[in-house]
Every structure is written in structure tokens, then in C-alpha cells.
Structure 1
Amino acid sequence: MDVRRSSNALERADDAIVAGRAMDGDVAAFAVLVRRYTPMMRAYTHRMLNASADVDDIVQEAFVTAWQRLPELDDPAKVKSWLMRIVSRRAVDRLRATRPAVDIDDLEQPAPSHASPSRVAEAKAEVQALGAALNELPEGQRECWVLREIGGYSYDEIAEELDIPVSTARGLLARARKYIIVRMEEWR
């Protein structure tokens, strides 16, 4: 009866007490930690390894490592996070071991076309040409175009912003677009 009472008291004890006793070599206390944290460690490992059959092996290896390294535990109250770090490292090690190794020299991938030096230079020249075309527009047309095409304003918002009728905003924008299309024809 005394053994059962002692076991129940150990089950209810907080992590600092249980881990402290386990650090002193109490196998029963370590068994409490195993029962207490196995479900969480299994769930974590299950997620990390995408439901692999290795889950139980990794959790068991983590507990073996924990038992061997218990003297290194600085704060017995933090045994939970310490155990989770161990199982996490074990899971990552297993992922690395099962991931196929690919030699970087075997991969010959061209740079994406939008990032090639010639495309970058072309894009800069196109932006400069657009800037020059916008500078050639009358001020009202330029303001309408910028508010609509860059700012995403509606016709009503443009009219309100520039304090002009909506019909005027539409006309200015139409003329600006026509000029930009003609001026930027070579960039199509």
C-alpha cells in the first residue's frame, strides 16, 4: 500500500520534483516523465515526420538520450521543453537521414528569365521611357493617369481628388492613355 501511495504522489507531483528525483537516479520518477510526455512527444514527432512509422522509435531514442543526459538538465522545472528539444532534434536528424542527397553540381538550372541581366536592363529602360512619356503629358492628364493606374483610384475618387467633374476625369484619362499607348508602342 505504501508503494502505491508513493507512486500516486509521484504522478501528481510537478515537473521540478519528478525531474529532480529522476536526476538523482529514481527510475520510477523517470517512468512518470515518460508516461506524462510520451503522448505529446509522439504527436509532435508524428507531425514532423508526416505520419512515419519511425515515430515510436524516435520517441524511445529521445527518452534514452534524456535518461543518459539527465545530469545536464539545468532546471528540473523545464524538463518538458528539454524533452521536446531532444525529440525535435531526433526527428530532424531522421528527416535529414531519409532525405535524398543531391549534389548541387548535378543541378544545372538557368537563371529565371525575368532576373537575367538583359531583362533587368530592358525593364529599367522601359520604366525610364514610361517616366519620360508621363513627363510629356499635360499636368491634368498625368495626374489622372497616375491616380488611376498606379493609385488604383476610381473615376469618382479621381474627380474628388482633383476637384473636377467625373466626365472631365474620364476624358483626361482617356487622352493620357491614348498618348501613353502610342508613345510606348515600341515596348510592346
Structure 2
Amino acid sequence: MPRVTPPERNIQLDALPDVVLCERATDGDTAAFEVLARRYGPMMRGYAVRLTGSTADADDAVQETLIHAWDHLGELRDGSVVKSWLMRICGRRSIDIVRRRREHADADTLAEVSDSSPTPESATISGSGLDALARSLESLPEEQRQCWVLKEMGGLSYEEIAEQLGLTSESVRGRLARARARLMRDMEGWR
């Protein structure tokens, strides 16, 4: 009797669209999730490096992003938006890392207080201003916040932001203008 072999897989995972990969990963297919990680990992790392200014912190941000994504992939309703979903998570993780680093640096600075250092009152006011900015950024629409963070914190050009977010340069300019106007309004009391 001839030996029957299973049919070979004709479709390579790398060739599958994001929607199919997300569906498969949601069902527990780790190979499909690995394809998503390989597909968007370099972009997330580049974004995180721009936000954190550190390759080590960027690697941490990407790792945290992928862990969170694996745990919450079932909550993503439309697999075609997985790229922007991953980038949002990565941006938040990167900002959290920068915030933790800043808090650690602030704690070190406060431990070395000298007579020429700012008073605790001025340090508190400064910290409150940063908290107000963070709250204002969180209240921006996601597209505006992404553009602002990439431009102001990441130092990307309009063209680089447009390429990364899949927009036109004109859309980036408009979103940045609206974000800046809103932040200026929200931060008016901190001038």
C-alpha cells in the first residue's frame, strides 16, 4: 500500500495579510504572532528609540509591547489595524519608560539637594506642569498625539511621520497644528 503524506502548505505565513495572522494568533498560533512581531518589530524599535533615546530602553518597550499584544490580541476587533494598534502600545510603553527614568533621575537629584538646587516648592510646581502636559497629551485624539510625540519627542520630520503612520505630509501638518493649538490652550496656565 502506498504511503500517504500530508499535503504541503502552499501558503507561507509571511505572505498572509495582518487580518489572517491576527485571527490565527488569537487562536493561539504562536508562529502567526511571530510573523507579526517580525513584520512590525523593526518599526516599533525605531519608534521606541526615537521616543526613549536609548536602544536598551527601546528593546524593553518593544518587548513589553509584544507581551501586552499577545495577552490582549483577542480584544482587537479588526486585525487590519494591528500595525497602528502595536505602534500605540509601543508609544505608551516608551513614554512610560521615559517617565520612570525621569522619576528615577528626579529621585536621585532630590537625594543630592544642595543650596543652589531648586526649592521643593519649585520642584513640585515643575512636576505638576509635566503631569498637566501628560494629561493634556492623553486627552488628544490618538492620531494627533502620535504625530506630536513623533515630532516633538522623537524629532522625526513630517515626511518620516507620514511614512510611519501611513499618512500624507499635509495630514501630519494639520494634525500637528491642531495638537499644538490644543496643548497651548490646555497649558496656558503653566506659562
TM-score norm. by structure 2 comes to 0.50
Query: Residue deviations 1:87-136, cap 9 Å, x none?
Result: 11100000110114478614599xxxxxxxxxxxxxxxxxxxxxxxxxxx
Query: Residue deviations 1:56-97, cap 9 Å, x none?
Result: 121111101100011111111100011111111100000110
Query: Residue deviations 1:122-153, cap 9 Å, x none?
Result: xxxxxxxxxxxxxxxxxxxxxxxxxxxxxxxx
Q: Which amino acid aligns with 1:98?
A: R
Q: Is the 8 A contact 2:44 2:62 kept in 1?
A: yes
Distance 1:3 1:98, change over 3 A: farther
Correspondence 1:32 to 2:35: yes
- Structure with greater contact order relative to length (CA < 8 Å, sep ≥ 6): 2
The unaligned stretches of length 5 or more in structure 1 are 110-188
Listed as ranges, the matches of 1:38-49 within 5 Å are 38-49=41-52
Percent identity (aligned): 44
Q: Structure 1 stretches (4+) deviating beyond 6 angstroms?
A: 1-4
Query: Matches of 1:35 and 1:2 in 2, distance apart?
Result: 28
The unaligned stretches of length 5 or more in structure 2 are 111-118, 126-191
Correspondence 1:66 to 2:82: no
Given the alignment, which residue of 84, 99, 115 partners 1:81?
Answer: 84
Given the alignment, which residue of 17, 22, 28 partners 2:20?
Answer: 17
Correspondence 1:105 to 2:108: no
Bigger radius of gyration: 1
The secondary structure found in structure 1 opposite 2:99 is helix
Distance 1:108 1:61, change over 3 A: closer
Q: Which amino acid aligns with 2:32?
A: A
Q: Which amino acid aligns with 1:34?
A: A
The secondary structure found in structure 2 opposite 1:97 is helix
Query: Residue deviations 1:159-181, cap 9 Å, x none?
Result: xxxxxxxxxxxxxxxxxxxxxxx
Cα drift, residue 16 of structure 1: 0.8
Distance 1:27 1:52, change over 3 A: closer
